[in-house]
Structure 1
Amino acid sequence: MSPRTGIDLQMVIQTAAEIADQEGFEAVTLSALAYKLNIKSPSLYNHVKGLPGLRKQLALYSIGEFYNTLSEAAIGRSNDEAIIAIGTAYIHFARKHPGLYEATFRAPDLMDPEVRTAGDRIIHLILKILQAYGLEGSAALHIVRGFRSMFHGFASLEQKGGLGMNLNRDESLNIMISTFLAGLHSRLNSAK
């Protein structure tokens, strides 16, 4: 069976991305996607290997979009300014693309070499920024874990309604980033 004219893998993934952002990651199913594309579900097998294949492709697409967002935020910036820019971009991506953000860590197999390679680009971007602070090796990786955990926690709480108090969320974000930077600077100063 040949693929329907006008439908290719890019269209399939972009449509899946729309469903994820509008209705949530779990709403991305073969039947929902086929309905949106106005095709029969079996036709999707011309482009993806079932639901796991679709979710892998969506994860790769999402990680790529996330990397591009963070990378663009870092261009022309270094040190604290770069940390602030990519931290803010991280949260803005999660706000603008909640389904894509969830897809970045919901691949069917997180150990899949393609998924790992895509995700490693984000880690290497943050590591490159941390080099300006003289951080390398395992010390830098621990800081990257903390950085990612902090922003993922904020994004997750915000998406699940856990930041319901009548406080400005962007102000909370700015305080969180400045506290992270103060801790980073304190750690670096005590190591001298």
Structure 2
Amino acid sequence: MPRAGLTPRVVAEEAARLCDEEGFDALTLASLAKRVGVAAPSLYKHVDGLTALRRDVALLGMAELAEALRGATVGRSGAPALRAAADAYRGYARAHPGRYAALQQAPRPDDEEAQRVAAGPVSVLAAVLRGFGIGDDQAVHAIRALRSGLHGFVHLEANGGFRLPEDLDESYGLLVEGFVRAFEGWADVAARTGDG
């Protein structure tokens, strides 16, 4: 019999906590069942297997990241909004490493719910970019560049990729300032790239 109060939402939240504590790759139905105090087969009343459980963790992470970005950028525009978004992004990745790892794969095109939830962080970043005059025609390119830079830094940081003594916060700040400058001149760069 399932533990009292066990619901699909509770299962996803417990799975997310397990991922943050032990790593996304450590998530199995057996490890989660042990954590919530049920037999592994009982989890099938709340989730359709490991793939679905990993999807649920990713959706939870996407929604939380969107909220973190939204909360950080509300009332800001341009460079201050970008700096706040970058800090929120790094902060989320540090606070929730397992959930962050879960949301690194794009959702399947036929998964409408996942597509909708994944649009949350993207819409916040697109709004930030509009503050630099970057419209919808260039937003995907700019977001890909920003995400690649921020993700590369937080991934290397989380995995011990920076061993030199220089301050990591300063390095991250310089990375973000590089994006501020890039986005301030984005229209000129995009025009030159389009001519190539």
User: 1:48: which partner in 2?
Assistant: 47
Hey, which bits of structure 1, 4+ residues long, moved more than 4 A?
188-191
User: Is 1:22 paired with 2:52?
Assistant: no
Q: 1:15 to 1:131 in 2, by over 3 A?
A: same
Is the partner of 1:141 in helix, strand or coil?
helix
Superposed, which structure 2 residues align to 1:19-168 within 5 Å?
Answer: 19-106=18-105, 110-111=108-109, 112-168=111-167
Identical positions, percent: 35
One-letter identity of the residue aligned with 1:167: E
Structure 1 residue 110, shift from structure 2 partner:
3.5
Alpha-carbon distance between aligned partners in 1 of 2:136 and 2:62, rounded to the nearest angstrom: 24
Give me the TM-score of the superposition, normalised by structure 1: 0.91
Structure 1 residue 34, shift from structure 2 partner:
0.3
Unaligned runs of 5+ in 1: none
2:72·2:88 contact (CA, 8 Å) conserved in 1? yes
Structure 1 residue 174, shift from structure 2 partner:
0.5
Is the partner of 2:6 in helix, strand or coil?
coil
Q: 1:30 to 1:106 in 2, by over 3 A?
A: farther
RMSD: 1.7
The range that moved more, 129-138 or 49-58, is: 129-138
Give me the TM-score of the superposition, normalised by structure 2: 0.90
Alpha-carbon distance between aligned partners in 2 of 1:87 and 1:64, rounded to the nearest angstrom: 17
